[in-house]
């Protein structure tokens, strides 16, 4: 298995334009850690175990697990309408906070628009890469565009639902989102190299790889002239990789603001995949999949509460569970069988251009043909 996974890592660097990639595998043969490429293009430093990585939307599973812990403690219910905890917040965007529940927020079926494409956010990331987003700004962003459907009608991936879930965590507990994730997830699992990235952070603990993007402003473009409407046309996708390690990621927050390592992320995933973190009822809730188009970006995958699970029919009878996340300069994919016996965690220092890499990893690790 290790040799086959290593070939994929080498392919990703040689053929798919990835500056640096790592994979951690656990199976019947033991544990294996492999790398290809470099952690930094300027210095040539190699990638290594123990690097601190921004795991992007894989952090949604940390948020969902925290909400489910509060549910297990009887402090909220997944069926609570948003208005129970955040009265009137959703109405500003034309949403019905009496009909949209916490469950809808966590499985992306609340009818919220695709927050990642909000013009204000996209424009800000280009023109104000160090901007610190506040919780109240993110909550307003979540409802800044009209609904795209009725609650429960369809799956539409919306970071805004997780902004609202984070705000509910804080309202229920009277504590910060970061403190509650620490209490509910990080400490119980002993994730000593995992934390919620502070809103004003400009770097990562050492060691860490350099984060890269391939698109940058075209030569001669004045950032001051960019608008929410024209910014996309001002990007040159063919420019060489640009270092974005210092990019502020406060816009990720409860939708994707966790920093971890491959070892810690593997431990977290295996715990939630097997039932090692949550009580039985909440474990079942986490892995109840949306049936209307959830996680269609990967073949045979469906979305639960912050997590993905592959249709066993497409996996030769295996139940394979996982998390995944991407943001400028980072991509993570962590997968495990539901018994925790076969797991793989992958990280790249640039967003893959296609689904070829994750599909190759899945097919090789679990001996299936997804396509």
pLDDT digits (tens, 9 = 90+) for 57-86: 999 999 999 999 999 999 999 999 999 999
Asked if pLDDT for residue 112 goes beyond 70, the answer is yes
pTM (2 decimals)?
A: 0.93
Phi then psi dihedrals of residue 260, to 5 deg: -150, -170
CB under 8 Å to 258, separation ≥6 — which residues? 54, 55, 58, 59, 62, 181, 194, 195, 196, 197
Q: Residue 371: inside a domain, yes or no?
A: no
Q: Residue 233: inside a domain, yes or no?
A: yes
Q: Residue 166: inside a domain, yes or no?
A: yes
Long-range own/partner contacts, residues 306-313 (CB < 8 A, 24 or more apart): 306/60, 306/61, 306/62, 306/63, 306/64, 306/65, 306/106, 306/162, 307/61, 307/64, 307/272, 310/362
3-state SS class at 325: strand
pLDDT value for 224: 59
pLDDT value for 116: 80
Full domain range(s) for residue 101: 2-366
pLDDT value for 121: 83
**Lowest mean pLDDT segment, chosen from 104-108, 241-245, 271-275:** 241-245
Q: Which residues of 156-180 are buried (b: 16+ CB within 10 A; e: fewer)?
A: bbbbbbbbbbbbbbbebbeeebbeb
Percent of the chain with pLDDT over 70: 92
Phi then psi dihedrals of residue 119, to 5 deg: -55, -40
Asked if pLDDT for residue 275 goes beyond 90, the answer is yes
**Cα four-point dihedral sign 252, 258, 260, 263:** negative
pLDDT value for 234: 61
Q: Find the mean pLDDT for residues 93-108.
A: 96
Q: Residue 129: inside a domain, yes or no?
A: yes
Asked if pLDDT for residue 294 goes beyond 70, the answer is no
**More confident: 202 or 278:** 278
Percent of the chain with pLDDT over 90: 77
pLDDT value for 240: 78
**CATH code, domain carrying 222:** 3.40.710.10
pLDDT value for 364: 94
Asked whether 156 and 112 are in contact (CB, 8 A), the reply is yes
- For residue 327, give Cα distances in angstroms to 54, 59, 139, 284, 315: 8, 12, 20, 29, 28
Asked whether 305 and 288 are in contact (CB, 8 A), the reply is yes
Q: Residue 12: inside a domain, yes or no?
A: yes
Q: Which has the closest alpha carbon to 198: 125, 127, 132?
A: 132
pLDDT digits (tens, 9 = 90+) for 222-270: 665 655 456 556 666 666 788 999 999 999 999 999 999 999 999 999 9
Q: Residue 295: inside a domain, yes or no?
A: yes
**Lowest mean pLDDT segment, chosen from 185-194, 217-226, 245-254:** 217-226
Asked if pLDDT for residue 215 goes beyond 80, the answer is no
Q: Name the DSSP letter for residue 211.
A: P
Residue 298: pLDDT band with limits 50, 70, 90: confident
Angle of helix 2-15 versus helix 356-366 axis, rounded to 10: 170
* Mean pLDDT over each residue of the chain, to the nearest integer: 91
Q: Find the mean pLDDT for residues 161-174.
A: 98
Q: Which residues of 283-299 are buried (b: 16+ CB within 10 A; e: fewer)?
A: bebbbebbeeebbeebb
Q: How many helices (H) and strands (E) does the chain have?
A: 13, 14
Chain position carrying tokens 């689904």: 355
**More confident: 310 or 80:** 80
* Pairing label, strands 242-243, 330-337: unpaired
Q: Which has the closest alpha carbon to 89: 155, 152, 142, 133?
A: 142
Is the bond preceding residue 218 a cis peptide, omega within 30 degrees? Answer: no
- Nearest-Å Rg of the Cα atoms of the chain is 20
Instruction: Count structural domains, the chain.
Output: 1
């Amino acid at each position: 298995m290790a040799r086959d996974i290593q070939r994929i890592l080498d392919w990703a660097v040689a053929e798919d334009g990835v500056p640096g990639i790592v994979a951690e595998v656990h199976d019947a043969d033991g544990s294996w850690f492999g790398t290809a490429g470099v952690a930094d293009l300027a210095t040539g430093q190699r990638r290594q175990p123990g690097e601190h990585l921004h795991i992007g939307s894989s952090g949604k599973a940390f948020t969902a697990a925290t909400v489910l812990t509060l549910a297990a403690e009887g402090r909220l219910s997944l069926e609570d309408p948003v208005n129970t905890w955040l009265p009137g917040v959703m109405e500003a965007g034309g949403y019905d906070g009496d009909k949209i529940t916490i469950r809808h927020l966590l499985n992306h079926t609340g009818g919220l628009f695709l927050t990642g494409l909000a013009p204000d956010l996209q424009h800000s990331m280009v023109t104000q890469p160090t901007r610190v987003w506040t919780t109240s700004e993110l909550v307003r962003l979540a409802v800044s565009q009209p609904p795209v459907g009725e609650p429960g009608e369809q799956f539409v991936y919306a970071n805004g639902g997780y902004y609202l879930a984070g705000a509910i965590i804080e309202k229920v507990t009277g504590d910060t989102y970061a403190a509650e994730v620490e209490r509910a997830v990080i400490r119980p699992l002993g994730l000593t190299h995992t934390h919620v990235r502070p809103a004003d952070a400009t770097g990562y603990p050492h060691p860490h790889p350099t984060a890269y993007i391939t698109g940058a402003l075209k030569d001669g473009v004045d950032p001051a002239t960019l608008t929410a409407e024209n910014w996309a046309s001002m990007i040159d996708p063919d420019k060489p990789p640009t270092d974005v390690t210092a990019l502020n990621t406060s816009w990720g927050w409860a939708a994707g603001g966790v920093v971890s390592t491959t070892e810690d992320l593997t431990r977290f995933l295996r715990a939630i995949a097997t039932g090692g973190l949550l009580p039985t009822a909440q474990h079942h809730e986490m892995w109840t999949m949306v049936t209307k188009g959830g996680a269609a970006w990967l073949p045979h995958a469906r979305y639960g509460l912050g997590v993905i699970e592959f249709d066993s029919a497409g996996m030769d009878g295996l139940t394979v569970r996982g998390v995944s996340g991407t943001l400028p300069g980072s991509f993570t994919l962590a997968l495990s069988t539901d018994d925790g016996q076969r797991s793989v965690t992958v990280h790249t220092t640039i967003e893959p251009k296609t689904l070829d890499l994750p599909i190759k990893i899945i097919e090789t690790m679990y001996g299936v043909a997804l396509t």
